[in-house]
Structure 1
Amino acid sequence: MKKNFRILAIVALGASLAACSTPKGGRDDATYYYSNKGAAAVAKVEPPPPAPMTNGPVGVPKIVYFDFDKYNIRPQDQRIVEAHASYLKNRSTSRVVIEGHTDSRGGREYNLALGQRRSESVQRALTQLGVPAERVEAISWGIEKPASMETTEEGYQLNRRAEFSYR
């Protein structure tokens, strides 16, 4: 029994030493580095820069605001929707996500549904203006991403919104 154990130990030691040795025909990286230190550097190939991200029409707000507990687009915000529709129609590869938001008043489920109705209202307006429906997505954040933490009417107004997020 002890003899078998010794033979097994010797075989295991030999195998581990063989695994640690430098392979035939291989190179020692430190020796290779110092022997080629003066060699010309290999040109590094850089990947092409990413395509510029589209952010929507220049100079046009990316937010449409809503009145309390409403999801219809206000007349003063209609020109914003029209400008985004024109931008999307002229750029066939652009896509947009409309993110609906609410103020903190009301329950979580109610606010998620209201935010969804707000984003779908903007989505519907864009498609009625000629934007293909498959390029516009409507989602709701409800109260999860407030623009203002103030509990004043001004703070609440900033949170009742739909935002254009270009992809």
Structure 2
Amino acid sequence: MELANFIKLAALTMLLALLAGCPTTRSGDTSTAVHETEGGGADASGLDGQSYGAGQDGSGGLYGQSGQDGSSARGGAGFSDEEAALRAITTFYFEYDSSELRPDAMRSLDVHARDLKASGARVALEGHTDERGTREYNMALGERRAKAVQRYLMLQGVAASQLEVVSWGEERPAVFGSDEYAWAQNRRVELRAQ
């Protein structure tokens, strides 16, 4: 059973590494998002579409960190395989109409919190919902989900100035469809390096 879970995590890690290496461009993005900064203000604007998964300096870590021996954050002598797998998880899923973090998300967020404290990097916490509910309700639910992740990271010692809360509501689905699978994939918070 533990081997099967490890294989699934390894496959997910490889998939994320492949996706992170793919170029993405966004032009003419007219989606509206609610951004909240540490000052509590909100504005309507889009994100720059920056990809995540690889450090901006090519080091391999979400925040550009590397292991004690210079190895990348995705594995190597500086990090355990389990820690590297937890670090690769940057999408956190939620139950229907809930903003409560799951225990598996907390384990991964613990690793991200350590990395954020060590690097001082900034991240956007992007809250999403499935298509059910009104647009206004989903924007608020996406914000509650992102704030749940923000609260957890701050309890682990991450500074508020490092965290930006964004709600996309139902505007940016990960999976298109009106079935339980699509809905489950869309109830999420994505952690994106800035």
TM-score (norm 1): 0.66
**Which residues in structure 2 correspond to 1:42-121 (within 5 Å)?**
52=57, 55-56=62-63, 58=74, 59=85, 60-92=88-120, 94-121=121-148
Matches within 5 A, 1:126-141: 126-141=153-168
**Correspondence for 2:149:** 122
Q: Which residue of structure 2 aligns with residue 34 of structure 1?
A: none
**The residue matched to 1:155 in structure 2 has which SS?**
helix
User: Which structure has the larger Rg?
Assistant: 1
CA offset digits 1:18-73 (Å, max 9, x no partner): xxxxxxxxxxxxxxxxxxxxxxxxxxxxxxxxx62762463421001000000010
**Partner letter of residue 52 of structure 1?**
D
Alpha-carbon separation, structure 1, partners of 2:97 and 2:116: 29
Q: Which 4+ stretches in 1 moved above 6 angstroms? A: none
Cα drift, residue 125 of structure 1? 0.3
Question: 2:119 is paired with a residue of what secondary structure?
Answer: coil
Instruction: Tell me the secondary structure at the aligned position of residue 138 of structure 1.
Output: strand
Counterparts of 1:158 and 1:79, CA distance in 2? 19
> 1: CA distance between counterparts of 2:93 and 2:170?
15
Aligned length: 116
Deviation of 1:78 (Å): 1.1
TM-score, with structure 2 as normaliser:
0.57
Structure 2 distance, partners of 1:66, 1:114, is 11
1:55 and 1:85 map into 2 onto residues whose CA distance is 12
What is the letter of the counterpart of residue 128 of structure 1?
A: L
Distance 2:104 2:57 in 1: 31
